[in-house]
Structure 1
Amino acid sequence: MEKNLLKTIIVKPENIVLKRYVEYFLFLRKKDDVSVQYTTFPNNNLCLAIYRHNHVDYQYGAKMNHCLISSGRQEFTSRIYGFHNMPFRVDIQQQLDQICIIFHPAALKAFTRLNFDEIDNAGFVFEQLFKPKDPYFLEQLFGEPDPIQQSRQLEGLLLDQLEEHRISKIWQALYHLSPAQPSQQNVSTEMLCQKLRVSDTTLFRLFKTNLGQNPQKYLKTIRFRRALKDLTTTHDPLTTVALRHYYYDQAHFIKDFKSFTGYSPKKLLKEVSVQQQSLTWIYQEK
């Protein structure tokens, strides 16, 4: 990590209540104009990204999921990155100063009255979601050089806006269904309907409103992330990993990984790295 032109620092929340809603804070900084590129993979969390003096050109479609970051005239811009069906490639062409809040699935609702599908992703999401008491909050946040102190400022802001009564019942069902939890069973949409005591139509609506993703894709992504973590932390044969995570066979496992990452599991292991046991990506300097 020390050799990277792009510096990444991950800080976990200190507040025990906030840990239920926020997975971690991510700080990305690059002080030169050398181009770098990184690729991340589909996940189930939501990322609120805040940039200082950067322009973000995000292209998303059936065959592309690409973000180009360059210098910008706006002092601050922000956007939400939700769920992806394919690898997410980011090209950074100039200096970068970026702070991300990584929310657990469906947890954003605890901090805002807006539903996920009501968020206007036009560059000012932070202002939409949060109303800091101090109008110069972002200036002070980015002016603080220590990521630990920055994370504490963010925790204070989030705790000020936290209203746990707003949290959706879907969050309660998904809280223990994260890639970090051991895979005890192959969870299905039918099981979620039973747990929440709702119909499949209502389940679909809850997912789209609170997560921006349908239940089938959510569960498929959960399985992929659990298998990815297993793959990067053990030396078990691919067949063993595939069966452990309820893939039909090794061919199904390989096909799924190629869809999510663009690589077969074996080739991915040669390219991928894990930052602070939290961020799994492919990092390249040009």
Structure 2
Amino acid sequence: MEITIYKPLSPLLKAYIDCFYILTRQPEELPNTYLTFPSMHHIVCLYADAVTEINNELISIHHESNGILQSRIVGKFSKAVCARYEGPISEITTLFKPLAVNAFLPSPLKDFVNEHFSVFNPYPDFLPAMRKIQDIPILSEKVEAMEAYWISKYQGFQHPFLPSILDEMTNSEAQERSITAICKSNAISRQTLYQHFDRYLCKTPSEFRKIIRFRRAINTHRLDIDQHSLTTLSLLADYFDQSHMIRDFKELTGYTPKYFFNRISHLGDGSVNWLFL
């Protein structure tokens, strides 16, 4: 299995898309199985000549010469999900930053997400255009065409309070405030905040904050040349203490931080983090 990661070239898309990656598998390869974990990204995946099946927490993707393009959007799940690839696979995936996918949709994200691996077809021309992109043989040209499509669908995203709240929640330098305090400073009720998180992020504020800490811990550990202890890492990632980090890691991954960090694989620039089984 080979994964190639591309950063957007468009100045516009750089503000909305973290990266694209293209995954390819050859017919002779043995199956690959890995765990993927909750993320702040919303991820649009395209699979050519493949069948995707969902069974509880297992997503199975296997080759089938059916001429069909499968399109899925990922981002609703709140704990580890197992993915298994079998046979030759050609996949192209777009990783949207938090809230960003809403700038390219005709209506709020919630209208397109009803499970953690939802079928995704937001426009009448989406699947035909994606089919043509998948048929492009040169990977860099495939990504250029993908960029052009998303630019053609750009309509911006304006919201009275979500962008500023997310900026505060994701700012590692800002002092963490309670959800109640955030609501008070934005003159909104908790119910309103939860409704808008659900509509545009498909997560609750508390789930989103938990994922922020988890992803901050992963990135801090990946870049940690000083090899900090788990106690220090928990503080750097804004956990209350090491016990808090252990509890959240077990909930999100099923593993302790020590086991998780010994097994996790960082792909590309670290945008993709999988644990191979």
Q: Specify if TM > 0.5.
A: yes
Match of 1:119 in 2: 112
Match of 1:259 in 2: 251
Contact 1:11 1:147 in 2 (8 A): no
From 153, 159, 162, the equivalent of 1:168 is 159
Match of 2:141 in 1: 149
- 1:167-221 Cα offsets, whole Å, 9 max, x none, are 4345522563576x54432243234425544221111110000011111111111
Q: One-letter code of the match for 1:36? A: N
How far residue 86 of structure 1 moved from its aligned partner, in angstroms, is 1.2
Separation in 2 of the partners of 1:100 and 1:208?
A: 23
Separation in 2 of the partners of 1:37 and 1:149?
A: 29
From 74, 78, 81, the equivalent of 1:81 is 74
Q: One-letter code of the match for 1:232? A: R
1:114 partner SS? coil
Contact 1:26 1:101 in 2 (8 A): yes
1:176 partner SS? helix
Question: Which runs of no fewer than 5 residues in structure 2 stay unpaired?
Answer: none
Match of 1:59 in 2: 55
Separation in 1 of the partners of 2:101 and 2:267?
A: 24
Separation in 2 of the partners of 1:259 and 1:46?
A: 20
How far residue 74 of structure 1 moved from its aligned partner, in angstroms, is 5.0
| Cα distance change on mapping 1:245 and 1:182 into 2, 3 Å | same
Question: Which runs of no fewer than 5 residues in structure 1 stay unpaired?
Answer: 1-5
From 98, 102, 105, the equivalent of 1:105 is 98
Separation in 2 of the partners of 1:168 and 1:186?
A: 22
How far residue 93 of structure 1 moved from its aligned partner, in angstroms, is 1.8
Equivalenced residues, count: 270
Contact 2:169 2:209 in 1 (8 A): no
Alignment of 1:33-48 (within 5 A): 33-48=29-44
How far residue 103 of structure 1 moved from its aligned partner, in angstroms, is 0.9
Separation in 2 of the partners of 1:251 and 1:124?
A: 38
Separation in 1 of the partners of 2:161 and 2:50?
A: 35
Separation in 2 of the partners of 1:100 and 1:201?
A: 33
| Cα distance change on mapping 1:123 and 1:104 into 2, 3 Å | closer
| Cα distance change on mapping 1:81 and 1:113 into 2, 3 Å | same
Separation in 2 of the partners of 1:150 and 1:187?
A: 43
How far residue 27 of structure 1 moved from its aligned partner, in angstroms, is 1.0
1:100 partner SS? strand
Identity %: 23
| Cα distance change on mapping 1:105 and 1:130 into 2, 3 Å | farther
Contact 1:43 1:225 in 2 (8 A): yes
| Cα distance change on mapping 1:139 and 1:74 into 2, 3 Å | closer
Please provide the CA RMSD for this pair.
Answer: 2.3
Separation in 2 of the partners of 1:267 and 1:22?
A: 31
Separation in 1 of the partners of 2:129 and 2:203?
A: 31
Separation in 2 of the partners of 1:170 and 1:45?
A: 19
